[in-house]
Amino acid sequence: MDKTTESQIISRAGKILVNCKETAFDGKTPIYTTFDRKSANVPKIASGKGCYDGVYWRDFYYTVTGFGEAFPQDDLDMSMRYLLEPEVGKMQIPGYHQTDEIVFHKSRFSDGTPFCNYKFPWQTPYSADNPMFAIMLTAEYIRRGGDIGLFAENAEKLELAISSVHLSERHLVHHTGPYIYGFYDCINLAGEQTYASVLYLNAARDFSELYGALGNEEKATKWRETAGKIQENLPALLTEDGDMFISDTGVNFVTDIWASAYAVYSNAVDTEIATRISRWMVEHYEQFIRDGHVRHVPKPDNWKCVVGGDSTGVGFMQNGAYWSVASPWVLYTLALTDKALADQMVEDLAATVLEYDFAECINEDKTCRLPGYTASAGMALLALRIAEGQGIFGIIERN
């Protein structure tokens, strides 16, 4: 990639971050929303007004880790405290019902109101990845020199939140549906789920690290052992030939590109499995990569069970669009066995993120959704850092 393109990417991504920054109701707390509403509505890009108000755990985690040291530490401190403030527990959700299980909010609006998906009955009652992302983001904050007291004050709350995520007898995340991971929120996933299990594994590792920093060896050991059990049993979710992971055991059973790459990136599998996944991705590259962006499942497959939301036809959103969020994981995985192909992927990614202004995703028909998406900008930057040999921030360096 030439220096001019690199400079343009960094400049535009930085502007997106600045434009996404808002101030909460208290007049002082900075919060970072999910996309740049000031972005020009360039050709091929649909308007995003009214979408994704507030700050979401998942997107904020990708933004912080993606932008790395460019993300202001003081802002991270205040934003974390803002996000962790709401209570956790059984809730009466306005316009919906009294929940039977513990709810941990997925986002918080600028007026302080927590958001739990109550407007969307097919997403009852919330996306359960939020506790994992909260733990992982807390650990990232502490590793950057943040106050360990923030974790000490919220450890019990985070324990309660993650208790809402159920594990099977094999210590893999098990859910009755419709989904766990928020980037699968138009898809029905049920049974044991690969991506969610890797998320839980990473959260457990981070919990162990955080409790270790507090000097609580009992809790540190408990969560380290939990992570070990998940890692030991994760291969049970491999495809029959053992070359990739399936999405879930309940309804889809499809090859899951994102989950497989994330498992490799997270050091959740041994070298033999990681190599098999890498070789499969090299061989089937054209079935799931376009312009450096990543499809959820390889062509000609699609999800077997779409559950609701907008733009869920084949070729749109999670059901066949291409995303930059997964690019760092796939790039890293490809490079294990084919560095040249990984280099080509990042060159294509660099050109396309500028063309589409870091869109949330690019549909099969070349239209796309939400320009100036902070998670897309952050993860594209992370992919560039990996390609330039600057290492993977976060998960892999800790194992």
**Residues ≥6 apart with Cβ < 8 Å to 272:** none
The neighbouring-strand residues paired with 35 are 373
CATH architecture assigned to 3-398: Alpha/alpha barrel (1.50)
Report, as ranges of residue numbers, the positions in the chain whose pLDDT lies below 70. Answer: 39-51, 90-101, 117-127, 176-179, 308-312, 390-399
What's the pTM? 0.92
| Distance between CA atoms of residues 33 and 13, nearest Å | 14
Q: Do residues 257 and 245 lie in contact, with contact meaning Cβ atoms separated by under 8 Å?
A: no
Q: Which amino acid is at 220?
A: A
- pLDDT, residue 122, reads 45
In the three-class reduction of DSSP (H, G, I as helix; E, B as strand; rest coil), residue 350 is classed as: helix
Kindly list the distances between the CA atom of residue 300 and the CA atoms of 65, 364, 396, in Å, as whole numbers in the listed order: 32, 12, 32
- pLDDT, residue 46, reads 43
**Dihedral, CA atoms, 134, 135, 140, 142, nearest 10 degrees?**
110
**Residues ≥6 apart with Cβ < 8 Å to 151:** 138, 142, 158, 210, 213, 214
**Dihedral, CA atoms, 202, 207, 208, 210, nearest 10 degrees?**
120
Tokens representing residue 73 in the block: 């530490």
**Residues ≥6 apart with Cβ < 8 Å to 275:** 336, 337
- pLDDT, residue 332, reads 96
Model pLDDT for residues 283-310, shown as the tens digit of each residue: 999 999 999 999 999 999 998 877 765 5
| Distance between CA atoms of residues 76 and 267, nearest Å | 26
| Distance between CA atoms of residues 291 and 339, nearest Å | 17
**Residues ≥6 apart with Cβ < 8 Å to 9:** 350, 353, 354, 380, 381, 384
Each domain of the chain, given as residue ranges in start order, spans 3-398
SS3 content of the chain, % helix, strand, coil (to 5): 45, 10, 40
Burial of 61 (0-12, 13-18, 19+ CB in 10 A): buried
| Distance between CA atoms of residues 198 and 290, nearest Å | 25
Model pLDDT for residues 319-348, shown as the tens digit of each residue: 899 999 999 999 999 999 999 999 999 999
- pLDDT, residue 153, reads 97
- pLDDT, residue 393, reads 34
| Distance between CA atoms of residues 369 and 358, nearest Å | 10
In the three-class reduction of DSSP (H, G, I as helix; E, B as strand; rest coil), residue 292 is classed as: coil
- pLDDT, residue 390, reads 53
Give the number of other Cβ atoms within 10 Å of residue 49's Cβ.
Answer: 8
